[in-house]
Structure 1
Amino acid sequence: MSTPTRVYIARLAGVTVFDPNGDQVGRVRDAVARLRPTQRPPEVVGLVAEMPMRRRIFLSINRITSIDADAVVLGTGTLNLRRFEKRPNELLVLQELLDRRVQIDPGGQPGTVVDVAMECSRGGEWGLTRVAVREQTGRLARRGHLHQVEWDRVRGLSGIADNRGTANLLAVLEDMRPADLANALQDLPDARRNEVAAALDDERLADVLSELPEHDQVEILAALDRERAADVLEAMDPDDAADLLGELPPPEQDVLLDLMNPDEADPVRQLLKYTPGTAGGVMTSEPVILPPDATVAEALARIREPQLSPAIATQVFVTRAPMTTPTGRYLGMVHFQRLLREPPAELLGGVVVNDIDPLRPTTPLPEITRRMATYDLVAMPVIDRNNRLVGAVTVDDVLDHLLPRDWRDRDTTLGPAPVEPALGGADG
């Protein structure tokens, strides 16, 4: 095996896995170690890799020909594409050991696990051999001296962890996209998942919640104190916040809405009034809205704002004042490609398109889907009976509601995955 004989596992998190042809298979998310009945350190039997569509599979250590901090390369053979499931005698190294409170012998110096190394023996067997432990010095544990010690010198690596922190696991997860982080959280035990979620800042947690199944969203929100829960709801897009609050009993909805800033709570209250499965029930109330005397240059600057999702940034909706929903009279919309073709000083009123009938809040989802497909649109306006813009339905809103309700759940697959026998080693 062309690889260092010692590899620190936290440094592998997120590293790309390639097949023998150089094609990307997925990314490393953890290492799997098998506990032994003796006092010997656990044997590393493979890695967990995340493939597209959030499927996590097991890669036997015997299949890996090269492993380092830049890439993991597989040898010849086929992959077992079954979803990975941990066995009772196995340990997920990063998930279960990072941030664990331990003691270093001799002397019982307390500390926190920040990484674990695996090493390859002369016989080709990989095992967990060394542990990087940060001394715990009062409340400044992260500033203590870093020790790299043999596995058998660390007490507290087995059994149920008590009072763990989250700093080191968050460091491993920090570069993940919100959808991938949501997927990683679903692998954690409930208590650990809630600890990690609570340690995220409001914006990051808001993004992650919108990628989780409804039952996980509710459980994480319930684990927060109400003031913090209200802050996170404020950081969410109004339609996502409304969807989450819609899963709660009305009294709890009212408590959280009252704790939110009124400017953030009002659009959420409005969205909660609409019937699920209609344009009003799936729309966002904060599309890009500009007056007819705004210029093309101003519109392009607006859609460049980094906080806008790609679907929202594709269309600029033109209305009379006021510019917040419900707006003044709706005039039409301009696609960003049209903006790119017009002179920067051109007024939006001169390039606006209004030949497609807007949706009504009561328009059902099947009709929305047909109309968006007919006109090849990724966003459509929603107007009320007074011709005021109240929101916009985007293609991601439609997809979220067309897919099965539990499509984000890790235990749900959207279709059969091919299963082929893995070559060599345990198959996890």
Structure 2
Amino acid sequence: MASGSPRVFVSHLAGVAVFDPNGDQVGRVRDLVAMLRIGGKPPRVLGMVVEVISRHRIFLPMTRVTGVESGQVITTGVVNMRRFEQRATETLVLGELLDRRVRLVETGEEVTVLDVSITQLPARRDWEIDKVFVQRGRKGGPLRRGGEALTVEWSAVTGFSLEEKGQGAANLLATFEQLRPADLANVLHHLSAKRRLEVAAALDDDRLADVLEELPEDDQMEIFGKLKEERAADILEAMDPDDAADLLSELPEADKERLLTLMQPQDAAPLRRLLEYEESTAGGMMTTEPIVLRPDATVADALARVRIHDISPALAAQVYVCRPPDETPTGQYLGVVHFQRLLRDPPFTLVGAIVDSDLRPLPPDTPLYETTSYLATYNMVSAPVVDEGGHLLGAVTVDDVLDHLLPDDWREAAAHGVDEAWGVTDAR
């Protein structure tokens, strides 16, 4: 880029697409890597952390960046596909600099970092952080009312090299606001343990519940173990029952019972039922919240339920027809109506008239291999789980089954990728 190129604020780079010289997308920017320097010198920007296929993260040196403009990053040359590992001398710009409390050198006033900007040095391919966007006033979220925001030179602030306790996370989260829970979980996984806990503390309950469901077990337990009991109970209420039960099953019996007692009775009841079953059975894997309709409901009613945003695609693929009560365990289970059938019949048709009663349900003690065979045999993405009395207990979905078929560390392995397949060395 030319020396007169505009300044780029790093928050605008989060999630930006990265393209190779042929115009093919390589991945998306998830962070920048910088090296702090002594004497107030602006940090050198070493490169970008780019997320490629399967959430694998690589390091892209800034010397390979030929353009940062129009909402995209252009690279040149061969991209090194070895997974990124942060070194002790390196700092993640988005993950570790945003939300820091630093001081203005001139007045000693404490301010909060909202953003930083990078620029390319004249006649060179090196980049550095040149400006810091800060906010005066007490600690809080981005651009609080009454807090003056100003842009200053890097040398005008001090405190970046000190470890900060209780660092906020509002501005970091603002840069990743549009990420899906699985992608935000991947961001958290790559942060330091300290920063991971700070970000988790800043998430609202529903968002944290969604993210916890996507994290590796070690990260789950690390975050969950630091929550106050009252909030931990609220998070469990917001999680899908099967995921919440899996998390609870890892806790000591006394802690498990204490959290269940703190939960609302109507939310704790399905978790207690799920915990009665072996983890790798249909009963242990099922969710207790499938779409349940009475036989006198219409196709229009069913489609309205299927359209609810919070219902996963696997659960939305069919509705289960039962006698009252509608909550699991239900009254007598009558059968299933598949989504395609709902699309073929008039809206006023009663679901009781088009129910598929030939497909046998699964008993709750069905082992994993039989559940897998059932879904494969009947080309199903979800299957009903019914007790001996004919009551619907829940539904086991294909994603629940995959969680148990894949290795325990599959989330982490997917995030890291397979280094040996590339046989290359780190470019730094």
Whole-Å Cα distance in 2 between the matches of residues 228 and 218 of structure 1? 14
SS at match of 2:116: strand
* In the alignment, structure 1 residue 375 sits paired with structure 2 residue 392: no
Matches within 5 A, 1:140-289: 142-143=144-145, 144-289=147-292
Aligned to 1:22: 23
After superposition, the C-alpha distances for 1:201-248 in whole angstroms (9 at most, x for unaligned) are: 111011001001122212211211111111111111111110110110
Aligned to 1:50: 51
Whole-Å Cα distance in 2 between the matches of residues 163 and 323 of structure 1? 46
The counterpart of 1:398, out of the listed 391, 397, 401, is 401
Whole-Å Cα distance in 2 between the matches of residues 11 and 242 of structure 1? 38
Q: How far has the Cα of 1:54 moved from its partner?
A: 1.5
Q: Give yes or no for contact 2:54–2:415 (8 Å, CA) kept in 1.
A: no
SS at match of 1:356: coil
Q: How far has the Cα of 1:21 moved from its partner?
A: 2.6
Aligned to 1:111: 111
Q: 1:357 to 1:7 in 2, by over 3 A?
A: same
Residue type matched to 2:200 in 1? A
Aligned to 1:33: 34
Whole-Å Cα distance in 2 between the matches of residues 291 and 346 of structure 1? 13
SS at match of 1:116: strand
Whole-Å Cα distance in 2 between the matches of residues 94 and 278 of structure 1? 42
Q: 1:241 to 1:159 in 2, by over 3 A?
A: same
Larger mean CA deviation between 16-25 and 30-39 belongs to 30-39
Aligned to 1:313: 316
Aligned to 2:97: 97
Q: How far has the Cα of 1:109 moved from its partner?
A: 1.8
Fraction of identical pairs, as percent: 54
Q: 1:404 to 1:413 in 2, by over 3 A?
A: farther
SS at match of 1:195: helix
Q: Give yes or no for contact 2:112–2:139 (8 Å, CA) kept in 1.
A: no
Whole-Å Cα distance in 2 between the matches of residues 365 and 139 of structure 1? 48
Whole-Å Cα distance in 2 between the matches of residues 341 and 119 of structure 1? 58
Q: Give yes or no for contact 1:278–1:361 (8 Å, CA) kept in 2.
A: yes
Residue type matched to 1:390 in 2? L
Q: How far has the Cα of 1:115 moved from its partner?
A: 0.7
Q: 1:56 to 1:265 in 2, by over 3 A?
A: same
Residue type matched to 1:104 in 2? L
Q: How far has the Cα of 1:56 moved from its partner?
A: 0.9
Residue type matched to 1:120 in 2? Q
Residue type matched to 2:229 in 1? R
Q: 1:328 to 1:169 in 2, by over 3 A?
A: same
Q: How far has the Cα of 1:356 moved from its partner?
A: 1.9
Whole-Å Cα distance in 1 between the matches of residues 97 and 273 of structure 2? 45
Whole-Å Cα distance in 2 between the matches of residues 346 and 21 of structure 1? 54
Q: Give yes or no for contact 2:55–2:414 (8 Å, CA) kept in 1.
A: no
Aligned to 2:363: 360
Q: Give yes or no for contact 1:4–1:68 (8 Å, CA) kept in 2.
A: no
Q: How far has the Cα of 1:411 moved from its partner?
A: 8.5
SS at match of 2:412: coil
Q: Give yes or no for contact 1:15–1:69 (8 Å, CA) kept in 2.
A: no
Whole-Å Cα distance in 2 between the matches of residues 418 and 166 of structure 1? 36
Q: Give yes or no for contact 2:83–2:419 (8 Å, CA) kept in 1.
A: no
Q: Give yes or no for contact 1:20–1:74 (8 Å, CA) kept in 2.
A: yes
Residue type matched to 2:227 in 1? L
Residue type matched to 1:7 in 2? V
Q: Give yes or no for contact 1:34–1:90 (8 Å, CA) kept in 2.
A: yes
After superposition, the C-alpha distances for 1:56-97 in whole angstroms (9 at most, x for unaligned) are: 11111121121136111222x322111101122222111111
Q: How far has the Cα of 1:406 moved from its partner?
A: 1.6
Q: How far has the Cα of 1:382 moved from its partner?
A: 0.6
Q: How far has the Cα of 1:368 moved from its partner?
A: 0.9
Larger mean CA deviation between 161-170 and 254-263 belongs to 161-170
Aligned to 1:339: 342
Whole-Å Cα distance in 1 between the matches of residues 130 and 317 of structure 2? 52
After superposition, the C-alpha distances for 1:357-379 in whole angstroms (9 at most, x for unaligned) are: 11111111111111111111000
Give the number of aligned pairs: 424
TM-score (norm 2): 0.94
Q: Give yes or no for contact 1:407–1:414 (8 Å, CA) kept in 2.
A: no
C-alpha RMSD over aligned residues: 2.0
Whole-Å Cα distance in 1 between the matches of residues 89 and 262 of structure 2? 46
Q: Give yes or no for contact 1:4–1:67 (8 Å, CA) kept in 2.
A: no
Residue type matched to 2:132 in 1? V
SS at match of 2:393: strand
Q: 1:417 to 1:23 in 2, by over 3 A?
A: farther
Q: Give yes or no for contact 1:78–1:420 (8 Å, CA) kept in 2.
A: no
